[in-house]
A = this chain, B = another copy of it.
Amino acid sequence: MISQAMEDYLKAIYKLQQTIKPVPTSALAEHMGFSPASVTNMCKKLAELNLLHYEPYQGVVFTEAGLQVALEIIRHHRLIELYLSKALNVPWDQVHAEAEKLEHVISEDLEDRMAEMLGDPQFDPHGAPIPSRNGTIFRPESESLIDMKAGNRFVVVEVNDDDSELLRYLGTIGLYPGTELLLVERAPFDGPLTLKVAGKQHNLGYQAAKSVRVAPVETSQEPS
């Protein structure tokens, strides 16, 4: 009933609707690399199945059912990523590609077993939150490193999982979720950022910095 292509659309819609609601079909088309016509087509199908509310010229919004399906797939994806990383030592820059394929064929039973084995984890290896079995998800506050001011300390909360080259680089400088960093300085305009991680300085390109989400570190821990 729900094809793999449909699942990919729902995942993309989930991602986009965190920024824009309703999601314009053009944004979807761009994100997925399909023509706008294809996207309109598929959106109508998904609306038929009551997974989306589709208003011509306005874009799409999830129905409750659609949101649940999307979260289920995302749960698959992120649990698989974490499982591969922890149980089979797959490097964190490879788990995304593997999970892309596995998420569509894994059974709920298998997923439950993996979740149990991992102790019902909250986050995947890139810091993205794993939706719970009943479809709730909690995303911690974070901001893109690109918007931060030099001279402050941050913790890495989450990084983009789909650029494996970037992940490999971040790995070499030790920039994982939970890692602390100091934003030393920012070159003007779209220039690179200079970071200090574990005592060593590194440069991070402007584009790369967009993919790193951080939270400010509390330097003093006095409560109010």
A84–B98 touching, CB < 8 Å:
no
Sorting the interface of chain A by its residue count into under 10, 10 to 19, 20 to 34 or 35 or more gives: 10 to 19
Q: Tell yes or no: A109 within 8 A of B by CB.
A: yes
A107–B98 touching, CB < 8 Å:
yes
**Cβ contact of A110, chosen from B84, B110, B113, B117, cutoff 8 A:** B84
A88–B101 touching, CB < 8 Å:
no
How far does the alpha carbon of A101 sit from the alpha carbon of B98 in the complex, in Å? 14
B113–A98 touching, CB < 8 Å:
no
How far does the alpha carbon of A106 sit from the alpha carbon of B98 in the complex, in Å? 8
Query: How many copies, total?
Result: 2
Q: A77-97, CB under 8 A of B: which get 1 and which 0?
A: 000000010011110001000
B107–A105 touching, CB < 8 Å:
no
The contact sample of 22 A-B pairs, CB cut-off 8 A, is A84-B110, A87-B87, A87-B117, A88-B110, A88-B113, A88-B114, A88-B117, A89-B113, A90-B109, A90-B110, A90-B113, A94-B109, A98-B107, A98-B110, A101-B105, A101-B106, A101-B107, A102-B102, A102-B105, A102-B106, A104-B105, A105-B105
How far does the alpha carbon of A104 sit from the alpha carbon of B110 in the complex, in Å? 17
Contacts of A107 in B (CB 8 A): 98, 101
